Amino acid sequence: MLELLSSHACHGGEQRFYRHESQTIGLPMRFSVYLPPQALKPDAKVPALFYLAGLTSTEETFAIKAGAQRFAARHGVALVAPDTSPRGAGVPGESAAWDFGVGAGFYVDATQEPWARHYRMYSYVRDELRETVLNELPVDDSRLGIFGHSMGGHGALMLALRNPEFYRSVSAFAPIAAPTRCPWGEKAFGGYLGDDREAWKEYDSSELVVRASRKFAEGILVDQGLADQFLAEQLYPDVFEAACRAAGQPLTLRRHAGYDHGYYFISTFIEDHIAHHAKVLLG
């Protein structure tokens, strides 16, 4: 059952914030939803984009900072953004680091104790959140896309590649594109998944795209700032680009001089991402 925490008029639609008891996580979870004006009409069903945020973010970050509602209203697309990890799991040390634990669930299902009980963000996003949105809100289950930023860009690419039957379109801003090769990914995967690096590959988009069961024929869109302070050490877009080329997966990887890793970058190109998804979902 959804608990509506707040609702705000926005570009003719409504920006809402919800809380619910998650069976997958075993704790209350929060998420945000923007319903465009088209969704507020009787018997309406609109496409929806799931946005996965990056490290330290919450369900509010994208709604407040990206400026996406204006373009979602123009195209008639709903926006759904979950939190980035469980809150209140009580795992010792879960708030000790900004890149692991609270705010850093990495969109995986943890297999290692003490994380395995609550840190199940992959199943939460793919199954419970998606099904909750489809059951409770005016969203069309046949027209879903997914996108995200940084850790969430990793999550969006990975979830789409593993589940093309659920997501028809995908894009990312500055994704952690080869997490098995970078310090952020090694820390998170080692902690949540253990030492078996073969198991890590199930969550690495640069590995998954080569053996994906279905291509995104309309292409994957990725934007990357060249002044991004994490580009060289953590993100590896070139690895993902090479993997897409080898797999025959259409990819548009745009590199932008002067742009860093933050929401000024995202807000600059968010219109293009909404349009990319709308072309697929409304075409």
Cis peptide before 179 (omega within 30 of 0): no
Q: Give just the sign of the alpha carbon dihedral 186, 190, 195, 198.
A: negative
Q: Which of 228, 273, 276, 277 is catalytic?
A: 228
Helix (H, G, I), strand (E, B) or coil at 151: helix
Catalytic residue among 57, 150, 205, 206: 150
Record the tokens describing residue 67, joined without a space. 């400026």
Query: Regarding beta strands 251-256 and 28-35, do their DSSP bridges make them parallel or antiparallel, or are they unpaired?
Result: unpaired
Q: Using CB atoms within 10 A of its CB, is residue 195 exposed (0-12), middle (13-18) or buried (19+)?
A: exposed
**Which member of 261, 273, 276, 277 is catalytic?**
261
Q: Which amino acid is at 248?
A: G
Residues forming a β-bridge with 144: 48
228 is catalytic: yes
User: Measured between alpha carbons, how far is 121 from 155 in angstroms, rounded to an integer?
Assistant: 10
Q: Residue 195 catalytic?
A: no
Other beta carbons within 10 angstroms of residue 269's beta carbon come to 18
CA distance 167 to 74: 21
Token duo for residue 129: 């959140």
Structure tokens at 122: 């992959």
Tokens of 282: 């409304």
Rounded CA-CA distance 168/143 in Å is: 7
Q: Which residues make Cβ contacts (< 8 Å) with residue 242, sequence separation at least 6?
A: none
What positions carry a catalytic annotation? 150, 228, 261
